[in-house]
Each structure stands twice: as C-alpha cells, then as structure tokens.
C-alpha cells in the first residue's frame, strides 16, 4: 500500500480537486493533476495505485475533516434543535467555502463505479452516524417526534442537505448557500419536530 501522507500528498489532493472540478473526473488526466501539483506524473502512483483511489482519497480527506470538526462542535451543544441547525450550517459552510470541492463532491462523486462507491461508503456511514445521534437525542428528549423512524428522518435530513448543495453547485454558485440555512432548518424542524405527526398522519 502506498504511503499516503506528507506535503506532496496534500498537494496532490489539492491539485486533484482543482483539476477534477475544472475538467470532470473522466477528463482529469493524471498528468494534468501532476502538473497542477508540481510533481512528476509517476509521483502520483507513489501515493495512489489508480485514479479511482485518488478520487476516493479526496473525499475521505476533506469530508473526514468536516466530520471531525462537526463532532467536536456538536459536543458543545446540548439542545438537539441547536445541533440540527449546526449540522445544516456546517454542511453548507464547508461546501460554500470550497466551491471546487463542492463540485467534486456533488457532481463528480456521483459515479456508478463500484470501487468509488465502496471507497466512500465508510466515511458516509460516519456522517450518517452523526445525524443519527442528533435525531436519537431529539427523540429521547421529546424535541423531535418519537414516532418517526430514525433512519427515515436521517435520510430526509441528509437528502435535503445534499440536494440543496447540488442545486447550488449546478447554479454556478449564483446565490449564497448559507442563506439557505434557516429555511432548511424551518423545513426540517417542521417535519420532525414534536407534534409533526398525529396518529401516524400529517397534522
């Protein structure tokens, strides 16, 4: 297994994000990524066995950082509603602050390649676990409707964040993604807040 740390590794990750965002994954040649990183093309293969590994590593590194920051920040909050709002904010802020990574995440990672799907599955499970923790706390404390299936709520939260971010990327970033934090929160809390359902039917 190639060594995956150090300044050159970080430069290659940054270069891959820039090149993939500009040209798309399939047209992002390893030689272009190497040129952007300021290394020889052969150097890429000292760190990554194939281009698929590089795309997976881009997601694991950058999204992994987002997850770790979210975990730390969420620990400082007690109210599950505050945690939910923070999850929305942190998701949008991370992508709005790095449009190239947002393009890679929302567009180029939507690959049918099973190697890529498998490679990003573990990090996605970690993110889902964070959402699950917030949902479970909200239901246990009575802030979120306890009759709702936790997995359904998690999928609704992630799906809303994901699609909103994708729409922003596809618009070319024509508006401030952070302007969607409060409307998204109101939409979600209206759907999962205590009393959102009655007798299994919408109120």
Model confidence pLDDT, tens digit, residues 23-42: 998 899 999 999 999 999 89
**pTM for the structure as a whole:** 0.87
Q: Do domains 1-49 and 55-202 have the same CATH topology?
A: no
Residue with the bigger pLDDT between 194 and 46: it is 46
Query: What is the per-residue pLDDT across 155-192, written as a single tens digit (0 to 9) for each?
Result: 999 999 999 999 999 999 999 999 999 999 999 999 99
- Look at residue 1 in the predicted model and tell me its pLDDT: 41
Domain ranges of the chain: 1-49, 55-202
Q: Domain 55-202 classified CATH 1.10.357.10?
A: yes
- Contact status, residue 49 vs residue 131, Cβ threshold 8 Å: no
Residue 157 CA, distance from chain mean position:
12
Residue 3 has pLDDT above 60, yes or no: no
Identify the helix (H) or strand (E) that includes residue 201: strand 201-202
- Look at residue 2 in the predicted model and tell me its pLDDT: 47
Distance between CA 88 and CA 86 in Å, rounded?
5
- Look at residue 201 in the predicted model and tell me its pLDDT: 43
- Look at residue 200 in the predicted model and tell me its pLDDT: 45
Distances (CA, A) of 37 to 26, 27, 101: 18, 17, 16
Query: What is the per-residue pLDDT across 75-133, written as a single tens digit (0 to 9) for each?
Result: 999 999 999 999 999 999 999 999 999 999 998 887 667 888 888 888 999 999 999 99
- Look at residue 197 in the predicted model and tell me its pLDDT: 52
Q: Which fold has domain 1-49?
A: Arc Repressor Mutant, subunit A (1.10.10)
Tally of helices (H runs) and strands (E runs) in the chain: 9, 2
- Look at residue 199 in the predicted model and tell me its pLDDT: 47
pLDDT tier at 4, thresholds 50, 70, 90: low
């Amino acid at each position: 297994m190639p060594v995956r740390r150090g300044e050159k590794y970080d430069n290659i990750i940054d270069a891959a994000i820039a090149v993939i965002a500009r040209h798309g994954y399939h047209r992002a040649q390893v030689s272009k990524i190497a040129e952007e990183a300021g290394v020889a093309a052969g150097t890429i293969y000292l760190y990554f066995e194939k281009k698929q590994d590089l795309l997976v590593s881009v997601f694991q590194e950058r999204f992994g950082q987002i997850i770790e920051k979210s975990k730390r920040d969420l620990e400082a909050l007690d109210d599950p509603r505050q945690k939910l709002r923070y999850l929305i904010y942190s998701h949008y802020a991370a992508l709005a602050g790095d449009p190239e990574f947002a393009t890679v995440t929302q567009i180029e990672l939507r690959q049918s390649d099973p190697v890529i799907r498998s490679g990003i599955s573990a990090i996605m499970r970690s993110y889902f676990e964070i959402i699950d923790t917030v949902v479970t706390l909200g239901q246990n404390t009575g802030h979120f409707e306890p009759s709702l299936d936790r997995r359904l709520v998690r999928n609704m939260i992630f799906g809303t964040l994901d699609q909103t971010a994708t729409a922003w990327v596809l618009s070319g970033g024509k508006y401030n993604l952070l302007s969607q934090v409060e409307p998204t929160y109101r939409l979600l809390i209206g759907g999962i807040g205590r009393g959102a359902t009655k007798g299994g039917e919408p109120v």
